[in-house]
Amino acid sequence: MTVTQNPRGLDDPAIRARVEELLVDMTLAEKAGQLTQYFKFNLPEGEGTVGDMPQKRGEVEDALERGEAGSLLFVTDPAETNRLQRLTVEGSRQGIPALFGFDVIHGLRTILPVPIALAASWDPETIERGQAVAAREARAVGIHWTFAPMVDIARDPRWGRIVEGAGEDPYLGSAVAAAQVRGFQGDQLGTPERVVAGPKHFAGYGAAIGGRDYDEVDLSDQQLWNIYLPPFKAAIDAGAGNIMTAYMPLNGVPATGNRWLLTEVLRNQWGFNGFLVSDANAVRNLVTHGFASDLTDAAARAADAGLDLEMAISDPAYAHLPEAVESGAVSIEAVDACVRRILEVKLRLGLFDDPYVDEDHARTVLADPAHRQVAREAAQRSAVLLRNEGTLLPLNAEQLRSVAVLGPLADSKRDTLGPWVFDYNLDETVTVLAGLRDRLGDQAEVRYAPGVRPAQRTFPSMFEMFPGNANPDPEGFDDDAELQRAVELARTSDVAVLVLGEWHGMIGEAASRSSLELPGRQLELLHAVSATGTPVVLLVMNGRPLDLRWAAKNVPAILDIWYPGTQGGAAVADLLLGDVAPGGKLPFTWPRTVGQVPMIYSHTTSFEPQNQGKRYWDEESTPLFPFGHGLSYGTFTYSDLTLSRETVSRDGHLTASITVTNTGDRAGDEVAQLYIHQRHGAAARPVRELKGFQRLHIGAGEARTVQFEIGPDELRYWNAAARDFIVDATTFDVGIGSDSTVQLTATFATTA
């Protein structure tokens, strides 16, 4: 397998010459420094620490001036990036500029919907456009590189980081990964107004046992190659210049010291020639794992495995690299190879020529109203209409006199933005309440009551050390009286819009959960409001599936709005009033209850006893909503599925086409999804697998014919007996439809 990734890189003679010139003049300590990335928090300083983090005061500045900090993270203020950059460029002996990285996960100042929501758009163009805005804002303030996209497949919603990825499926995950890389990075590394993309966490982090963050991961080879690695491969093929290693051990070997993973697979097999960074403190953690004997051993083994840059909060393990080289624990060639890759990226980004940013320009970029429009469209396209009984939605603005907007998430700016944001502007943030008030103006009275107090985590979030991240717990909140007030508003309104879900600190890193229930008294509020008889629209604010069994039977309209970002409330108003139609689809299987977890659509079949697929005696074995599910304001029928050929050679191609008709009386969006199933062969293959999708906008009464190519890329899989990718000579079933329950009615054969 060959890739033409990063064609300019060290192959460029001018870059190579400059790299060698710097390298030859570098001390071992300076080399280790280039391979060290420090956190630099902008937090109130405590006694010898920064916030709760045990970073010594001045540690970073000192290291920069000694030429012993090659990279920093968490600096987002352009004046501060300039100040720190000046320290290294003007203060250190060689004057090598620092590389600034940050978690620009779904926007910097303009916050996009969370990544799982972007994935739910099933729309690579929307995703690319959104992340290009994020990149533009980041680059303007002096950030050169983002620790994104997270391309970890997540099949266990107890794992809080499901919100940062693209869900359960490798095909959708690969498409979303590539779109994000293109958005962040542009056509090539060094594109103006873009940043280096750093897909993470290599590899398998999403399979943490029990959904417990950071816990160990055991994956069979076929799971790794067929499910967990493909999004990384897609991101690398799209040009990603960086990869971040995972915290946990993969099949017993910590990812950050795993030579097979980092060098054999990533560099030798895939041809990745960018640079590798560890997750925070993950090199030091090689000792915690009981893998390395001490920090010198940790540094030696990480560098030997191919890890270029250590991300450290304090006291980096890579500070021990000089002694590791001197004792022969790691070769100088291995260390030099890492240093070359760090210098190379700095040169390719043009940092030596232009290390600083223009602070006025940064202000202009951050204020660009076009960014807000991109965020609004992304939020519109991410929402998933889970249920719409009696076509309650869209609401008819003409007939609406009063709306009750209920639930504490309905007017929480901070929650509207979701997790993994630090530089947001709350003044620009539009909640659901504000969006509806703005959209309806004097036309209808929009009244608000929180109904219940914000629920709290049993154990606080580590992100609470950042300003604005603690969950408010209003004093003097009279729970029963507030619930009654909300019910009363609902009773006296034409429609009740409830916003329920999880507070932003309940999802994300270190936010695993042992249940999927609506936290606090939210379900009680939903029951009480529904009992008034006023039609209820439930808006779900979430990053993981929640237990909505009651709502799915009793609430007529359910729209998943995720954490929709800066313009979330405006987008929600657009959707509820029918200015635009929802068209998102679920990027994961939505279980009924936590007891069904993990649950995926692409399982295999096996022994089928008499009870027709019933696996639990106390609950259905089907999900609440299938993977790929999502409604719109149109009604779609699929007809005339045809395949261009009945047989193909194993390296041949065929085309599947189908006509999608909107038989409804409103325009709408639909994502046509192609699934295949291999009937027999050298392995038992899943009952169905997604192998193509296209998001369509179809007017009322109109029809569109769509085509999908099927070829070896879609048919091959990694076989545990052959220990390689193969295409079987067999029969495939094909179906194209609205979600992963589509009947597979067409067939073709692959010939030997």
For the bound state, the minimum distance from the C-beta of residue 41 to ligand NOJ, rounded and expressed in Å, comes to 11
- Kindly give the pairing relationship between strand 310-312 and strand 36-39: parallel
Comparing CB distances to ligand NOJ, the nearer of 73 and 744 is: 73
Cα separation, 119 vs 585, in Å, equals 9
Instruction: Please report, as residue ranges, which positions from 548 to 607 form the binding site for ligand NOJ (by CB under 6 A).
Output: none
| Alpha-carbon distances, residue 149 vs 42, 163, 242, 420, 625 (angstroms) | 24, 12, 11, 12, 26
Comparing CB distances to ligand NOJ, the nearer of 148 and 178 is: 148
Comparing CB distances to ligand NOJ, the nearer of 147 and 675 is: 147
For the bound state, the minimum distance from the C-beta of residue 417 to ligand NOJ, rounded and expressed in Å, comes to 17
For the bound state, the minimum distance from the C-beta of residue 327 to ligand NOJ, rounded and expressed in Å, comes to 30
For the bound state, the minimum distance from the C-beta of residue 138 to ligand NOJ, rounded and expressed in Å, comes to 14
Instruction: Please report, as residue ranges, which positions from 102 to 121 form the binding site for ligand NOJ (by CB under 6 A).
Output: 103
Q: For residue 85, with 0-12 CB atoms within 10 Å meaning exposed, 13-18 middle and 19 or more buried, which class applies? A: buried
509 binds ligand NOJ (CB under 6 A): yes
Comparing CB distances to ligand NOJ, the nearer of 69 and 347 is: 69
Rg of the Cα atoms in the chain = 26
Token pair for 386: 């889970």
Site track for ligand NOJ across 633-672, x = CB under 6 A: ----------------------------------------
Instruction: Please report, as residue ranges, which positions from 47 to 106 form the binding site for ligand NOJ (by CB under 6 A).
Output: 103
For the bound state, the minimum distance from the C-beta of residue 190 to ligand NOJ, rounded and expressed in Å, comes to 22
Comparing CB distances to ligand NOJ, the nearer of 280 and 342 is: 280
For the bound state, the minimum distance from the C-beta of residue 210 to ligand NOJ, rounded and expressed in Å, comes to 18
Token pair for 161: 């980081």
**The only residue of 68, 123, 137, 279 in contact with ligand NOJ, by rule CB under 6 A:** 279
Cα separation, 260 vs 267, in Å, equals 10
For the bound state, the minimum distance from the C-beta of residue 307 to ligand NOJ, rounded and expressed in Å, comes to 15
Q: Which residues of 153-183 are buried (b: 16+ CB within 10 A; e: fewer)?
A: bbbbbbbbbbbbbbbbbbbbbbbbbbbbbbb
- Kindly give the pairing relationship between strand 731-737 and strand 746-751: antiparallel
Token pair for 38: 């420090």
For the bound state, the minimum distance from the C-beta of residue 18 to ligand NOJ, rounded and expressed in Å, comes to 29
For the bound state, the minimum distance from the C-beta of residue 246 to ligand NOJ, rounded and expressed in Å, comes to 8
Name the residue among 151, 278, 280 with its Cα closest to residue 206: 151
The verdict on whether 353 is a catalytic residue reads no
| Torsion (CA) 143, 145, 151, 157 in degrees, nearest 10 | -30
Comparing CB distances to ligand NOJ, the nearer of 38 and 718 is: 38
* Number of amino acids touching ligand NOJ (CB under 6 A): 6
For the bound state, the minimum distance from the C-beta of residue 155 to ligand NOJ, rounded and expressed in Å, comes to 18
For the bound state, the minimum distance from the C-beta of residue 195 to ligand NOJ, rounded and expressed in Å, comes to 14
Cα separation, 214 vs 712, in Å, equals 36
Among all residues, whose Cβ is closest to ligand NOJ?
147
Name the residue among 363, 340, 383 with its Cα closest to residue 123: 383
**The only residue of 32, 84, 280, 292 in contact with ligand NOJ, by rule CB under 6 A:** 280
Cα separation, 139 vs 599, in Å, equals 40
Comparing CB distances to ligand NOJ, the nearer of 215 and 494 is: 215
Name the residue among 109, 99, 44, 43 with its Cα closest to residue 73: 99
E strands along 131-256, which residues? 145-146, 196-197, 242-244, 249-250, 253-254
**Contact partners, residue 442, CB within 8 Å, separation at least 6:** none
Cα separation, 723 vs 700, in Å, equals 50
**The only residue of 122, 145, 147, 318 in contact with ligand NOJ, by rule CB under 6 A:** 147
One-letter amino acid for residue 602 of the chain: S
| Alpha-carbon distances, residue 366 vs 74, 136, 493 (angstroms) | 17, 9, 39
Cα separation, 162 vs 530, in Å, equals 30
**647-649: strand order across its sheet:** 647-649, 746-751, 731-737, 668-678, 689-698
Cα separation, 212 vs 513, in Å, equals 8
| Alpha-carbon distances, residue 699 vs 34, 92, 635, 664 (angstroms) | 56, 63, 10, 9
Q: With beta carbons less than 8 A apart as the criterion, state whether 206 and 218 touch.
A: no
Comparing CB distances to ligand NOJ, the nearer of 302 and 576 is: 302
Which of the following is catalytic: 279, 308, 547, 560? 279
Element (H, E) at 414: helix 413-417
Residues that bind ligand NOJ (CB under 6 A): 103, 147, 200, 279-280, 509
Catalytically active residues are 279
